[in-house]
Amino acid sequence: MKSKLVLFIIGFIVWSLLTWPLDFQHLIAGLMVAAFVAFITGDLFSRRPHHFGHITRYIWFCYYVPMFLWECLKANIDVALRVLNPKLPINPGIVKVKTTLKSDTGLTFLANSITLTPGTLCVDIDTEKGILYIHWIDVKTQDTDKATELIVSPFEKILKKIFE
């Protein structure tokens, strides 16, 4: 029930942003559509909806977004320099790293962060064992623990506070 309510609020906000100059008719239609969608697919949205009430999670999320964008910019400059270099300095390979995150949303955000940060691309996730296979464009170490230290740990600490 709580999950349906959260989905209804998010859907209504997105609808009113899409039809931005706020209008009475658009708001009525948005209420009906958001209620319908929340009634049908609300149970699939979140397994632990009480997490949406914690304020500290939002504060950590506000800390996470600028850091993510900064890493993203660094990744772009890194890839552009590699591509424009005439010698093409790449040294690719697939490495294995470990994670301690368990929830689905947390793993999804971790994979997205890894994909958009310098030189790494998530290839597959093993949810039960907590293993990620990562394609690295410039392999610095072949050891699992050192690779975990280099790739996963800066995001994992923050994402654990947001999603676990």
- Interaction of residue 10 with other proteins, rule CB under 8 A: no
- Interaction of residue 100 with other proteins, rule CB under 8 A: no
Q: Which two structure tokens, joined as six digits, stand for 62?
A: 């506000």
Residue closer to other proteins, measured from CB, 6 or 114: 114
Q: What 3-state class would DSSP assign to 126?
A: strand
Among 111, 151, 159, 162, binds other proteins (CB under 8 A): 111
- Interaction of residue 29 with other proteins, rule CB under 8 A: no
Among 142, 145, 146, 157, binds other proteins (CB under 8 A): 142
DSSP label at residue 138:
B
Q: Which two structure tokens, joined as six digits, stand for 152?
A: 């996963």
The site string for other proteins over 51-90 (x = CB under 8 A, - otherwise) reads: ---------------------xx-xx--xx-xxx---x-x
The closest alpha carbon to 28, from 5, 9, 12, belongs to 12
The closest alpha carbon to 96, from 68, 128, 131, 71, belongs to 131
Contacts (Cβ under 8 Å, ≥6 apart) of 162? 57, 60, 61, 64, 106, 109
Q: What 3-state class would DSSP assign to 135?
A: strand
Residues facing 138 on adjacent strands: 91
User: Please, what is the minimum distance in Å from the beta carbon of residue 1 to other proteins?
Assistant: 26
Among 39, 40, 43, 112, binds other proteins (CB under 8 A): 112
User: Please, what is the minimum distance in Å from the beta carbon of residue 45 to other proteins?
Assistant: 15
Task: List residues near other proteins by CB under 8 A.
Answer: 14, 17-18, 20-21, 72-73, 75-76, 79-80, 82-84, 88, 90-96, 108, 111-112, 115-116, 119-124, 133, 135, 137, 139, 142
